[in-house]
Amino acid sequence: MDALLELFRSNFYGIDFTIGGLTPLVVYGLYRSGRISRFSWILFWVGFGLGLTWEVPMSTLNEYSELHAVARFIRPLPTHFFVLILMHSFWDGGLFLLGVWLVHLLCRPPLFTRFRAGELVLLLVWGQASELWVELTSTFGEGWAYIPKSWNPSLFQFNGQDITLLPQLIWLAAPVVFYAIALRMPKERL
């Protein structure tokens, strides 16, 4: 088990970036094969764009401002930080799309046609759970950890690293914006 854990840790960024890079390819394949609609394809890119709104500033601060850095790398990043921004934004798009799939699975049609609390609650719960999973996985894999600050307090520690409030707040606000955009999009359905 220790050998498997070390294999995961030593290849954490490779695994992280592979999943990020494969995400748009898988989503495109699903779209081209008719397994997801144009609506879902566009929602993936909406999620990607939303991800850029926090991935770019936070990664830029981490790279260029020790004083204002939001996170630190436990193991050095093996690439230029732009790769991290791009791959994590693809991850974000995929996570949003998984939230859409949960809505599709658990809510009655028609979906995303008007405000429905159940749809939004599912996106919010999924956002919180997936963000927490990402942070726990990162600290477990010795990738990165957020830095506690007065505006980003530690919620608890995991694997000797702080799990902080800011990422959870981002994934509390982002599903609301995502849902508002989805409601305003043309009504082609899942």
Q: CA torsion sign, 86 to 99 to 123 to 41?
A: positive
DSSP annotation of 70 reads S
Q: How many CB atoms lie within 10 A of CB 1?
A: 5
Give the rounded percent of residues in the chain with a pLDDT score beyond 70: 98
- Lowest mean pLDDT of 11-20, 59-68, 179-188, name the range: 179-188
Task: Kindly report the pTM of this predicted structure.
Answer: 0.94
Question: What digits encode the pLDDT tens for the residues 103-129?
Answer: 999 999 999 999 999 999 999 999 999
Question: Which whole number is the average pLDDT over 59-87?
Answer: 95
pLDDT of amino acid 44? 98
| Domain-wise residue ranges, the chain | 2-64+72-184
Average predicted confidence (pLDDT) for the chain: 95
Question: What digits encode the pLDDT tens for the residues 126-158?
Answer: 999 999 999 999 999 999 999 999 999 999 999
Beta bridge partners of 164: 154
pLDDT of amino acid 190? 47
* Separation between Cα atoms, residue 178 and residue 152, nearest integer Å: 23
* Separation between Cα atoms, residue 166 and residue 148, nearest integer Å: 9
- pLDDT over 50 at 18, yes or no: yes
